[in-house]
């Protein structure tokens, strides 16, 4: 995908990318999932570099973006989640302490994906202790960490075996030195920079779910037409056809919301509500389509050679990561509907 230029879709042409919008980037990832693959192995390259693009210095952009676009450098790792804070990101404990011309990073992260296949990691760490800032979202900073230089006694990534083929890791920083010039943007404003990139992430993930949903529906339709039981195709039974039809309806509705969110983003308009709603609707719809496909296939839905069970496991992730359904509902309740803050 890198060689074909797809992963540089969102990098501007002046830095060697295709200079396309999120609308087109989303179509690329959707197509991976639509054709039976899983874009989780590469999608982060599209959205992590957005933080660098929007908040990095001109020197950082000139140094890194062309190499990311050409595939010489891989920026696939995104280090935010921690074992003790989880979804409560601003309570993270990894610290980066300034010492002369570098920062010293100490702490632990969990579920950090693609580390073994990445040259760089975009890292969120606390630079000012929580009790010295007015709001806990302040005092966090974003760094570009070069994993190729990291000594084994100061940086370790331990793979976590998961129920899907997704390379993810527990990561330990033990006094890792990161050059001060690798700070992205201003010190203490990192949380805002990370949030900035999240709308793109939501839209891209929604597109992957829609790709999954259409794949499940195509497979379910094909099987429902050709499988003969009681001397007729199983799809002739409304008990089989309706769940597939309902999933299709929900996929199309989610698709409209994702297109709306992408169009708003590409027009430079606020799209937080639409991006979050698109991600929730698409993740629910792909899961519904996955269930319909398993049910339609009967016992064969569980046979590995049909791929249904693999995609079923893969699409389940999107209800949890990169953001869980509850957290999206919480965003909509508080920020869109004006209901009282919950946490
Ligand atoms: C395969 C995989 C890959 C991942 N890759 C990355 C990565 O590359 N980089 C990265 O930084 N992270 C990554 N993650 C982490 C992922 O973003 C988190 O798992 C996710 O955000 C949830 O955090 P948690 O697991 O700590 O759950 P917790 O925060 O412990 O939450 C557990 C459950 O409780 C619910 N919950 C918590 N608080 C509330 C509340 N106030 N109201 C209602 N419900 C609540 C949540 O919705 C969730 O369902 C990955 C995770 C997985 C599984």
The DSSP-derived string for 13-38 is: GGGTS----HHHHHHHHHHHHHTT--
Q: Ligand 1 centre from 270 Cα, in Å?
A: 25
Cα 70 to ligand 1 centre (Å): 32
Contact 48, 118 (CB under 8 A): no
Report which protein residue has its CA nearest ligand 1's atom 4.
Answer: 111
Count of beta carbons in the 10 Å neighbourhood of residue 275: 29
Counted residue by residue, the chain has a size of: 343
Tell me the C-alpha distance between 21 and 47, whole Å.
12
Instruction: Report how far residue 37's alpha carbon sits from residue 208's, in angstroms, rounded to the nearest whole number.
Output: 10
- Separation of CA 293 and ligand 1 centre (Å): 27
Residue of the CA atom closest to atom 18 of ligand 1: 321
Per the structure block, which two tokens stand in for 303? 């046979």
Q: Which atom of ligand 1 is nearest to the CA of 114?
A: 8
The reported pLDDT for the residue numbered 244 is 99
- Residue labelled with tokens 């969102």: 10
Provide the angle, in degrees to the nearest 10, between the axes of the packed helices 190-226 and 308-316: 150
Distance CA 32, CA 208 (A): 8
| CB contact at 8 A, 50 and 200 | yes
Residues forming beta bridges with residue 179, ordered by sequence position: 102
Q: In terms of Cα–Cα distance, which of 307, 313, 319 is closest to 282?
A: 319
* Ligand 1 centroid from CA 111, angstroms: 9
Instruction: Kindly list the protein residues whose Cβ atom lies closer than 6 A to any atom of ligand 1.
Output: 78-81, 86-87, 111-113, 162, 166, 168, 317, 320-324, 326-327, 330, 342-343
Instruction: Compute the CA torsion angle 92, 65, 263, 210 (nearest 10 deg).
Output: -70
Ligand 1 test: best mutation among 321, 330, 334, most atoms within 8 Å of CB? 321
What's the pLDDT score for residue 135? 95
Task: List average pLDDT for each run of 10 residues in the chain, which is 343 residues long.
Answer: 93 96 98 97 89 95 96 95 96 98 98 96 97 96 96 98 96 98 98 92 97 98 98 98 98 98 96 97 98 98 98 97 96 98 93
Ligand 1 atom index nearest CA of 109: 11
Distance from C-alpha of 159 to C-alpha of 135, rounded to nearest angstrom:
34
Closest residue by CA, ligand 1 atom 9? 112
pLDDT of residue 49: 87
């Amino acid at each position: 995908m890198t060689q074909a230029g797809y992963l540089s879709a969102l990098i501007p042409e002046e830095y060697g990318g295709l200079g396309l919008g999120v609308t087109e980037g989303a179509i690329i990832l959707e197509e991976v999932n639509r054709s039976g693959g899983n874009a989780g192995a590469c999608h982060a390259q599209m959205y992590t570099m957005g933080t660098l693009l929007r908040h990095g210095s001109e020197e950082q952009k000139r140094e890194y973006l062309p190499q990311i676009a050409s595939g010489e450098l891989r920026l696939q790792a995104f280090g935010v989640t921690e074992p003790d804070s989880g979804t409560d990101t601003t309570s993270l404990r990894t610290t980066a302490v300034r010492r002369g011309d570098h920062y010293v990073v100490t702490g632990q992260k969990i579920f950090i994906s693609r580390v073994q296949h990445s040259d760089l990691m975009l890292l969120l760490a606390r630079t000012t202790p929580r009790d010295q800032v007015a709001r806990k979202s302040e005092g966090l900073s974003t760094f570009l960490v070069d994993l190729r230089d990291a000594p084994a006694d100061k940086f370790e990534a331990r793979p976590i075996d998961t129920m899907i083929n997704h390379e993810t890791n527990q990561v330990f920083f033990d006094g890792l030195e990161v050059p001060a010039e690798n700070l992205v943007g201003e010190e203490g404003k990192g949380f805002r920079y990370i949030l900035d990139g999240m709308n793109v992430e939501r839209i891209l993930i929604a597109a992957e779910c829609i790709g999954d949903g259409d794949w499940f529906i195509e497979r379910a339709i094909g099987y429902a037409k050709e499988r003969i039981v009681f001397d007729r195709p199983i799809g002739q039974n409304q008990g089989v056809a309706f769940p597939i039809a309902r999933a299709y309806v929900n996929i199309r509705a989610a698709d409209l919301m994702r297109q709306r969110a992408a169009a708003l983003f590409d027009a430079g308009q606020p799209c937080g509500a639409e991006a979050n709603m698109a991600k929730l609707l698409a993740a629910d719809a792909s899961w519904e389509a996955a269930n319909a496909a398993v049910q339609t296939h009967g016992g064969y839905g569980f046979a590995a050679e049909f791929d249904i069970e693999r995609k079923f496991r893969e699409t389940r992730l999107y209800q949890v990561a990169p953001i869980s359904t509850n957290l999206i509902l919480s965003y909509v309740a508080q920020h869109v509907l004006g209901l009282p803050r919950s946490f």
